[in-house]
Amino acid sequence: MSLNWRDIATFYRYETRAALRERSIVINTLLIPLFMYPFLLWSMFTGITYVVGQVEGLVSRVVILDHTAGHEDFKSLVAKDDKQKLQPPVSKTQALEQIQAGELDALIELSSVAAGPKSPPGNFSARIYFDRSKDRSDQARQRLEESLGHYRSQWLENEAARLQVTGKQWQGFLIERRNVASGREMGRFLLSTMLPLFLVIMIAVGCFYPAVDSTAGERERSTWETSMSTAASRQSILTAKYLHVATLGSVAGLINLVAMLLSAKAVLAPLIQQIGEKFEFRIPFAAVPVMAVGTVLLALFVAAVMMLLASFARSFREGQSMITPFYMAIMLPVVFVRTDSEFTVLQALIPIVNVTKLFAQAINGELRLVTTGLTLLSELVCILVVLRLAGMVIRFEDFMTGSYHGSFGKFVRERILNQKRTKPVGEVR
Amino acid sequence: MSEYPVTVENLAKSFYDESRGEVRAVDEISFECRPGQIFGLLGANGAGKTTTLRLLATILAPTGGTARLMGHDIREEPEEVRRNLGFYSASTALYPRLTARETLHFFARINHYPDRDRESRVSYLIDRFGLGSYVNARIDKLSSGMKQKVSIARTVVHDPPVLIFDEPTVGLDVLNALEMQQVLGEFRTEGKTIIFSTHIMSEAERLCDRIAIIHSGKILACDTLESLREATGCRYLEDIFVKYVRGEHVRPTVAGG
């Protein structure tokens, strides 16, 4: 193999310079990773906050049908709440019609429960009617439940006091929920669910256009042969192109990672704080090198496959359609892999899945030597396999000169699996 | 090192075609080119001119025979061959997103022209081809005439001793075609060895010091225009060409040197 690093550097600079002057590459490799997902994230959370705020800002119109005696205080409690407005009493049927028509938000019906040896006098049951298909009605239900809960506790305390029973005696057990995760851990959890998926997608997006542009695009522009007629060896030219595509894929991934982290800190944290939670969006220091290496290896793998597929195309459009199945295949594990489940040894051997899980593990600060090592090794093996395949393909002159008609699949069937029909006419260097 | 800048010995190229089977595009041809001369490959479309030139430029690999450019074998030292060669053809377009200046710098560097002399060489070519006013414009913004000038400049930017021009006037208007012929004449004066393919007889008559008539991958005749006239008894190259292609009896010409 004849590699000249000076030539590789010259071609690499040319490819990168030319790529950065192409609008679609700049948009997909730099601008989308930098702005799109952070923007989507911001839009999503702002939208949710806005909708929640809108619903919360509305006063709930409620009707109380009280068939009990001695629970007027509940009515007073609801009346004092400025988020709820008691409507004039109507019949149950009318109230239900009004709820369905959206003129009323909820109805609460209080009924007496006959006093017995096991229940105190004045005991009551409550039934709330609401329309779950309307946010506003559901909100009214929540508010009524909250008011009823307060009233019930107060009533039980009063009854207990009247019977000279202490709080500890009548409260058999209390259910208390307490999240032991710190704000930092919650932040890591949220990041580990989002970031690996975005990172893999961004690396694929970052490689996509440069891979097509530097192969099929060159053929379409009739500059492929221009490159091949220079004093640089074919291997040097292809190496430069490959490194160029992988660099843009890595850059897209890393830019997205930084943008997502910054936007999580600047946008997500304040929004989450509004709903009473405090998340800290920081990833462990040890995660950085692992994620960087994982990103580069994944970009090298994706770039190799995409270039191999696209180099059979004669036009940009054809190149895009040849790469798209692989692009979709990358998305599948990303969509179906659960980042919060255990990272098994088997998963560490499956490309794309392993990197996604490794990123999640790194962000959560739970890196394990075995899965980390296996993931990196598996990625490396995949890269070497694809490069070996590429090495076999570029020996064929008609592939290099662009006179071969067909896809990568057809080529493999004809030339690699069934070598007796045709063989390399001559090794081109 | 060979006596001649370009020596071709029994060069052959076969392709495998699914419908036609093995196709011999170039069939054991031999010729030599001298320094300071224009060697013309004259043939109809599909005669094997472009394949021959692509073999010499090491874009294709031969299936038989070989050739040497400036003493470098096209099979053994393709990078050295390309370093000593400027290759111009319709299929070698310019990179559209680079400027004219960037293009010249790129080709000088990638073809290993000495770094210390690169700036002055690029400036010289910018002046020579009158590229000054649009040297910083992107190639895709240039007119076809301007692109042609940049393309010639990039072919010679590394100052190669051998130049290959594959049908350089195809698609050009009359003025640009004449300008191209004038430039080829200038390169000859500078001592370059030029291999030039065409199917236009008048061009070959006007420019070439020696002419090879190629047909179905074989060289039928290879000599100076005067010798070809003498051998065929025809005055015009068109008649000479037809006589050879139709296989009518002619006196043998001196192939090679």
- Nearest Cα of chain B lies from the Cα of A51 at a distance, in angstroms, of 47
CB B86 within 8 A of CB A226: no
Q: What is the pLDDT of residue A57?
A: 80
Residues 178-197 of A with CB under 8 A from B: none
Q: Can you give the pLDDT at residue A274?
A: 66
Q: What share of chain B in percent tops pLDDT 90?
A: 69
CA distance to partner chain A, nearest, from residue B173 (Å): 21
What is the distance between the alpha carbons of residues A235 and A4, in angstroms, rounded to a whole number? 9
B/e letters for A329-344, b = 16+ CB within 10 Å, e = fewer, are: ebeebbeebebeeebe
Please report, for residues A33, A141, B99, B122, the alpha-carbon distance to residue B151 in angstroms, rounded to integers and kept in the order given: 37, 77, 12, 13
A1 touching B (Cβ < 8 Å): no
Q: Measured between CB atoms, which of B91, B92, B111 is closest to A231?
A: B111
Tell me the C-alpha distance between A145 and B210, whole Å.
Answer: 103
Band (pLDDT 50/70/90 cuts) for residue A425 is very low
Sheet holding A106-112, edge to edge: A84-86, A60-66, A106-112, A124-130
Residue with tokens 């190799």: A304
Joined together, the tokens standing for residue B157 give 């930017």
pTM of the model: 0.81
Does B236 have pLDDT greater than 80? yes
A401 CA: distance to closest CA in chain B (Å): 7
CA distance A327 to A330: 5
Report the C-alpha dihedral over residues B110, B114, B119, B124, rounded to 10 degrees. Answer: -100
Contacts of B91 in chain A (CB under 8 A): 222, 225
Confidence band, pLDDT 50/70/90 cuts, at residue A427: very low
Mean pLDDT of all residues in B85-96: 90
Tokens of A207: 């490689």
Which chain A residue shows the shortest CA-CA distance from B102?
A: A14
Nearest-10 crossing angle of helices A316-336, A353-363 = 50
Distances from the Cα of A85 to the Cαs of A55, A81, A167, in angstroms?
15, 8, 32
Contacts of A422 in chain B (CB under 8 A): 16
Quick one: pLDDT band at residue A394, thresholds 50, 70, 90?
Answer: confident
Give the residue among A113, A114, A93 at the shortest CA–CA distance from A104. Answer: A93
Question: What average pLDDT does range A374-380 have in this prediction?
Answer: 94
CA A131, chain centre distance (Å):
32
Residue A423 has a pLDDT of 46
- Residues 397-416 (A) with a CB less than 8 A from some CB of B: 397, 401
Q: How confident is the model at residue A275 (pLDDT cuts 50, 70, 90)?
A: low
- Nearest Cα of chain A lies from the Cα of B152 at a distance, in angstroms, of 13
CA distance A141 to A146: 9
Average pLDDT in chain B: 90
CB contacts of A10 in chain B (<8 Å) are: 106, 109-110
**What is residue A1's predicted lDDT score, i.e. its pLDDT?**
55
Q: Is the pLDDT of residue B171 over 60?
A: yes
Residue A361, C-beta contacts closer than 8 angstroms, at least 6 positions apart: A192, A343, A367, A368, A371, A372
Q: Which chain B residues touch A233 with a CB distance below 8 Å? A: 78-79
Mutation target for A interface from B95, B107, B144, B151: give the one with most A CBs within 10 A. Answer: B95
From the list B63, B83, B91, the residue facing A222 with the nearest CB is B91
- Cross-chain Cβ contact A223/B110 below 8 Å: no
Task: Determine contact, residues B195/B219, Cβ cutoff 8 Å.
Answer: no
Q: In whole angstroms, what is the distance from residue B57 CA to residue B28 CA?
A: 17
Interatomic CA distance for residues B221 and B30, integer angstroms: 11
Q: How many helices (DSSP H) and strands (DSSP E) are in chain A?
A: 18, 4
Residue A71 has a pLDDT of 81
* Residue B238 predicted with pLDDT over 80: yes
Q: What is the 3-state secondary structure (H, E, C) of A150-217?
A: HHHHHHHHHHHHHCCCCHHHHCCCCCCCCCCCCHHHHHHHHHHHHHHHHHHHHHHHHHHHHHHHHCHH
Q: Report the alpha-carbon distance of residue A197 to residue A43 in Å, rounded.
A: 18
Of A7, A230, A427, the CB nearest to B61: A427
Average pLDDT over every residue of A243-247: 96
**Structure tokens belonging to residue A414:** 């004809």
Identity of the residue numbered B257: G
Look at residue A118 in the predicted model and tell me its pLDDT: 66
In three-state secondary structure terms, A264 is: helix
Contact check, Cβ <8 Å, A397/B138: no
Q: How far apart are the first and last CA of chain B?
A: 16
Q: Which residues contact B185 (CB under 8 A, 6 or more apart)?
A: B207
The string of pLDDT tens digits covering residues B193-232 is 999 998 888 889 989 999 999 999 999 999 999 999 998 8
Percent of chain A with pLDDT over 70: 94
A426–B contact, CB cutoff 8 A: yes
In the predicted model, what is the mean pLDDT of residues A110-136? 82
Domains (range + CATH), chain A: 5-47+182-394 (no CATH), 58-170 (3.40.190.10)
CB contact under 8 A, A401 and B60: yes
Which region, left, alpha or beta, applies to residue A30 given φ > 0 means left and ψ of -120 to 50 means alpha? Answer: alpha
Q: How confident is the model at residue B57 (pLDDT cuts 50, 70, 90)?
A: very high
Q: How confident is residue B256, by pLDDT bands cut at 50, 70 and 90?
A: very low
Q: What is the dihedral of CA A158, A164, A165, A168, to 10 degrees?
A: 80
Confidence of residue A419 (pLDDT cuts 50, 70, 90): low
Contact B95 A11 (CB under 8 A): no
**Residue B1 pLDDT:** 47
- Sign for the CA dihedral angle at A1, B75, A402, A213 comes to positive
Q: Tell me which residue has tokens 């292809």.
A: A238
* pLDDT at residue B96 tops 80: yes
Residues 6+ apart with CB under 8 A from A402: A219, A224, A225, A314
Is the pLDDT at A325 greater than 80, yes or no?
yes
Max avg pLDDT among B88-92, B118-122, B251-255? B118-122
Task: Give chain A positions within 8 Å (CB) of B82.
Answer: 229-231
Chains A, B: CB contacts under 8 A, how many?
85
Whole-number pLDDT of residue A400: 80
Mean per-residue pLDDT, A143-151? 91
Q: d(Cα A292, Cα A302) in Å, to the nearest integer?
A: 15
Residue A79: CB atoms within 10 A of its CB come to 14
Mean pLDDT throughout A355-362? 89
pLDDT in tens, A61-87: 999 998 887 788 888 889 888 889 999
Give the distance from CA B176 to its chain's centroid: 18
> Counting beta carbons within 10 angstroms of the beta carbon of residue B28, is it exposed (0 to 12), middle (13 to 18) or buried (19 or more)?
middle
CA distance B104 to B153: 7
Whether A232 sits inside 8 A of B97 (CB atoms) is: no
Q: Mark B176-212 as b/e (b = at least 16 C-beta within 10 Å).
A: bbebbbebbeebbeeebbbbbbbbebebbbebbebbb
Closest to A255 in 3D by CA, of A37, A44, A15: A37
Q: Most confidently modeled of A330-339, B64-73, B196-205?
A: B64-73
Chain B interface disruption, residue of A11, A14, A23, A25, most B CBs within 10 A: A14
Among A33-47, A81-95, B145-159, the least confident range = A33-47
Asked whether the beta carbons of B177 and B141 are under 8 A apart, the reply is no
Task: Check pLDDT > 90 for residue B124.
Answer: yes
pLDDT at A130 over 90: yes
Pairwise CA distance, residues B63 & A398, whole Å? 13
Rounded-to-integer distance, Cα A27 and Cα B211, Å? 53
Q: Give the 3-state secondary structure of B110-138.
A: HCCCCHHHHHHHHHHHHHHCCCHHHCCCE
Tell me which of A316 and A398 has the higher pLDDT: A316
Specify burial of residue A304 (Cβ count, 10 A radius: 0-12, 13-18, 19+). Answer: buried
Higher pLDDT, B238 or A163: B238
Residue A424: per-residue pLDDT: 44
CB contact under 8 A, A17 and B98: yes
Nearest to A10 among B93, B109, B158 (CB): B109
pLDDT of res. B257: 40
Are the Cβ atoms of A428 and B61 closer than 8 angstroms? yes
Per-residue pLDDT at A310: 92
Q: What average pLDDT score do residues A119-136 get?
A: 85
How many Å separate Cα B141 from the centre of its chain?
Answer: 27
pLDDT at B154: 95
Task: Tell me how many helices (H) and strands (E) chain B has.
Answer: 9, 10
Which positions ≥6 away from B89 have C-beta within 8 Å? A225, B50, B53, B164, B165, B166, B167, B168
Q: Which of A18, A427, A428 sits opposite B97 (nearest CB)?
A: A18
B44-62 average pLDDT score: 92
Inter-chain contact B95–A223, Cβ cutoff 8 Å?
Answer: yes
Q: How far apart are CA A336 and CA A318, in angstroms?
A: 29
